[in-house]
């Protein structure tokens, strides 16, 4: 936990940057300092799930929300029932992150459609710049 990228300040900064990048307004930050994604009975997560007055849940990384596929399935289904989309501020190639991406794309989620469109546009711009 001593690495800079795992510190709460770094995580909050990535959440804010992700929200700003997509034009989302942060309505609150829930912390579980000292807890891992192995436990679903974390104070911050319980508080978050008790007050679902938002459309998009931005997490730092998928494993910060849940470390087990069955827990992630439960949380994604619960959020989906409340029309909430979960988006990691930091994408990775780890299996749970890719699974979450697949889960939302399979549902043709509009937030992920926008994220995918933005990624395709950014890649096209980068490719055009590289050819210049």
Please give the model's pTM, rounded to 2 decimal places: 0.82
Question: What phi and psi values does residue 37 have, to the nearest 5 degrees?
Answer: -70, 0
Pick the CATH number of 4-25+33-131 from 3.40.50.1390, 3.30.300.30, 3.40.50.150, 3.20.10.10: 3.40.50.1390
Give the torsion sign (CA, 10, 62, 107, 120). Answer: positive
pLDDT in tens, the chain (132 residues): 445 556 888 999 999 999 999 999 999 999 998 898 999 999 999 999 999 999 999 999 999 999 999 999 999 999 999 999 999 998 888 899 999 999 999 999 999 998 888 765 554 445 555 565
Q: Which two tokens stand for residue 87?
A: 């988006």
């Amino acid at each position: 936990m001593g690495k800079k990228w795992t510190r709460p300040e770094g995580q909050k900064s990535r959440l804010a940057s992700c929200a700003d990048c997509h034009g989302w307004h942060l309505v609150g930050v829930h912390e579980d300092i000292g807890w891992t994604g192995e436990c679903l009975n974390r104070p911050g997560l319980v508080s978050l799930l008790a007050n679902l007055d938002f459309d998009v849940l931005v997490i730092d990384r998928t494993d910060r929300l849940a470390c087990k596929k069955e827990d992630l399935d439960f949380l994604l289904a619960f959020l989906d029932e409340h029309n909430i989309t979960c988006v990691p501020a930091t994408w990775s190639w780890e299996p749970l992150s890719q699974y979450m991406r697949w889960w939302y794309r399979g549902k043709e989620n509009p937030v992920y459609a926008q994220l995918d469109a933005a990624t395709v546009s950014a890649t096209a711009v980068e490719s055009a710049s590289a050819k210049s």
